[in-house]
Amino acid sequence: MTSDADMLEVQDAGLARLAELQLALAEKLYRLADATEDASEASDLAVALERTSRSVRLTYALRAKLRRDAKRAHREDADATARRDREQVRFKKHRLRTGVEALIWRETDGMDQEAEADFGDLLDALVDEEGVSETFLSEPLAAQVARVIAGLGYEITPEGTVRPHPRSSPRTRGPRLFELSLTPTPLIPAKAGTQAAPASSPPYGSRLPPGRAEVGVRAPPLSSSSPGLSRRPRHTDRT
């Protein structure tokens, strides 16, 4: 089956050949009109030359129109492809977030309003980070769910449930409770085509600079109503 591009190429080549023939005819008519001494014959040749010249101009205009149409069709195809890709990314991001929430909902059930909002922001950031990957649409959804779960500071058990990762702990940072760092660690599986970096931790007794969290993504603080866990009290200035 002939493609649109092949058909346009054939049409353009045919019009180019037609323009060459018309130009050759126009040149012949001009030579005849210039050589004749008969006024009536010269007039007829002049009319034929004018018509041939008009045909040449129309042929050139048609070639230009075909090329403009081809460029417009190419842009429309590219736009349609981009829209289709964006829709596929949006749909898979929805599936990714839904899959994570289906596993993690028990862990967020006891959070207060502020912690739950921060947890949702962190989840959105992790899902958005997955969505900009070049392999997002081709990579298995299960691997992406596991990576986001690990980014939240949890791990998926062999039984398919979720539990806090033993090496993960929440940290506070000013009015925000989390800082996102998507460097691959043992808690965050590397994306396709990359290699996870070894985990590192500050020396014993050292403190991190203000406003910075250690490498990795930490779990959100749980409310005091969560069994076995309590929120770290906020520091207040005493005067």
Q: Which of 48, 65, 92 is the last residue of a domain?
A: 92
Q: What is the pTM for the complete model shown? A: 0.49
Q: Is 98 among the domain residues?
A: no
One domain for residues 82 and 124: no
- Cα 179 → chain centroid: 24
User: What does the pLDDT read at residue 239?
Assistant: 41
One domain for residues 7 and 86: yes
Tokens coding 206: 């050292």
One domain for residues 80 and 156: no
Look at the chain and report how many structural domains it folds into.
2
**Where is 162: in which H helix or E strand?**
strand 162-164
Residues 6+ apart with CB under 8 A from 159: none
Other C-beta atoms closer than 10 Å to the C-beta of 10 total 11
Per-residue three-class SS string for 117-136: HHHHHHHHHHHHHHHCCCCC
One domain for residues 82 and 141: no
One domain for residues 150 and 52: no
Residue range(s) defining the domain that contains residue 12 = 1-92
Tokens coding 22: 């018309």
One domain for residues 51 and 141: no
Residues 6+ apart with CB under 8 A from 76: none
Q: Is 235 among the domain residues?
A: no
pLDDT in tens, the chain (239 residues): 667 778 888 888 999 999 999 999 999 999 999 898 888 999 999 999 999 999 999 999 999 999 898 889 889 989 999 999 999 999 999 999 999 998 888 877 777 888 888 888 999 999 999 999 989 999 999 999 999 999 998 888 888 888 887 765 443 222 333 333 344 444 445 555 544 444 444 443 434 344 333 333 344 443 434 343 333 444 444 44
One domain for residues 220 and 114: yes
SS3 content of the chain, % helix, strand, coil (to 5): 55, 5, 40
One domain for residues 85 and 115: no
One domain for residues 56 and 22: yes
DSSP, collapsed to helix, strand or coil, labels residue 188 as strand
Tokens coding 68: 């403009």
Tokens coding 67: 């090329």
One domain for residues 8 and 85: yes
Q: Is 81 among the domain residues?
A: yes
User: What does the pLDDT read at residue 119?
Assistant: 87
